[in-house]
Amino acid sequence: MSVADTSPVRFGVIGARSMVATKAVMPAIDASERAQLTSVSSLGGPVPERWEHLGAGLYDDVIDHPDVEVVYIPLPNGLHLEWVERAIAAGKHVMCEKPITPTAADAQRLADSAERAGVLLAEAWMTPFDARWRRAMSSPRSADRRAACFPVNGSRSISSAICLAWRRRPASWSTGSVRAASI
């Protein structure tokens, strides 16, 4: 995949039954002339009917698929680190849902691995590309806040008044240092 290449970017998805994958990302890839869904896998049940013709058995089958250039990872947060590492090791570009890792040290380790492997690593965080976010961050009143917030070099803590209903979940579903709350 090069900058001059005009062929569609070929995506593989591991965790193809996740809500964000089925409701947003996979339909967006399908709708794009510059992207192509190539292989998908779900270990939590069958691949949704719309994409069952692209179904691969295991997550490794998607990562090892010779036509997949980018692996999209919408798995439970506690599985991000392992599968991002595996995709990078296979020489694939990665787009992983947030939070990409539970700690800043883990995130730096992944970034270093991606750089060594010559692949791109992205956290799927769309907010900075939203027009409302851009307007808010470019307003004169936000200048002091931007200076205090960017660049992020390490962990930050934010207190809020969000109430979440917690259920018992397997440890592998850990959300790490960030509890999954929508922005």
Catalytic residues: 98
Beta bridge partners of 94: 71, 121
Q: Which residues pair with 121 in a beta bridge?
A: 94
pLDDT digits (tens, 9 = 90+) for 41-84: 999 899 999 999 999 999 999 999 999 999 999 999 999 999 99
Tokens 């992944």 -> residue: 110
Q: Is residue 139 part of a domain?
A: no
Q: Which helix (H) or strand (E) holds 41?
A: strand 35-41
CATH code for the domain of 49:
3.40.50.720
What is the span of the domain harbouring residue 69? Answer: 9-124
**Is 62 within a domain?**
yes
With contact defined as beta carbons under 8 Å apart, do 96 and 20 qualify? no
Q: For residues 171 and 74, which has the higher predicted lDDT (pLDDT)?
A: 74
Residue 157 lies in a domain: no
